[in-house]
Amino acid sequence: VVHRDLSPGNVRRRGDETWTLLDPGLARHLAEFSLTGLYQPGTAGYRSPEQVPGGTPDTYSDVYCVGILAYVALTAQWPVDPSGAEDAYFKRLVQQQPVPVKTLRPDLDDEFAAIIDRCLNRQPARRYLDAAELLGALGKSSLDATP
């Protein structure tokens, strides 16, 4: 299943310190994809390079959007500036690799920073395949998950 709209408005922290995804209305099984026209699902600023007009979102796209969420939360900056005309944003999205998160937050754990940077790779095949693989990488990292 591909969510297609991972953005801050669709992620909530629950009282038990876990997180949940909201708005499954755009979610689709991969076999159901058939996008036509120029409409692109998702929230502006929270799109992957392959979601430029004509592209089809997939599990790699959701991983990219998780990377955006983490990057913005940790740096208060966009990995790729979404401002201005949509076509200019799409051009930047396809051509610019984000500044490594460790450059903006040198205090971050090296493994965690590498995980975020991998999520934000412009090339889908260089990202984690899906949320399960991403969670596996986080689980294998040396991060301390205690609050």
* 3-state SS track over the chain: CECCCCCHHHEEECCCCCEEECCHHHCECHHHCCCCCCCCCCCCCCCCHHHCCCCCCCHHHHHHHHHHHHHHHHHCCCCCCCCCCHHHHHHHHHHCCCCCHHHHCCCCCHHHHHHHHHHCCCCHHHCCCCHHHHHHHHHHCCCCCCC
Range of the domain at 124: 43-140
The pLDDT value recorded for residue 18 is 65
The pLDDT value recorded for residue 14 is 67
Ranges of residues in the chain with a pLDDT under 50 are 1, 3, 25-40, 146-147
The pLDDT value recorded for residue 146 is 47
Residue 34 in any domain: the answer is: no
Residue 70 in any domain: the answer is: yes
Residue 20 in any domain: the answer is: no
Residue 48 in any domain: the answer is: yes
* pTM, to two decimals: 0.74
Residue from 5, 58, 62, 117 carrying the catalytic annotation? 5
Q: Looking at the 3D structure of the chain, how many domains does it have?
A: 1
Instruction: Give the Cα separation of 62 and 119 in Å (integer).
Output: 9
| CATH value at residue 125 | 1.10.510.10
Could you tell me which residues are beta bridge partners of residue 19? 13
Is 23 tagged catalytic? Answer: no
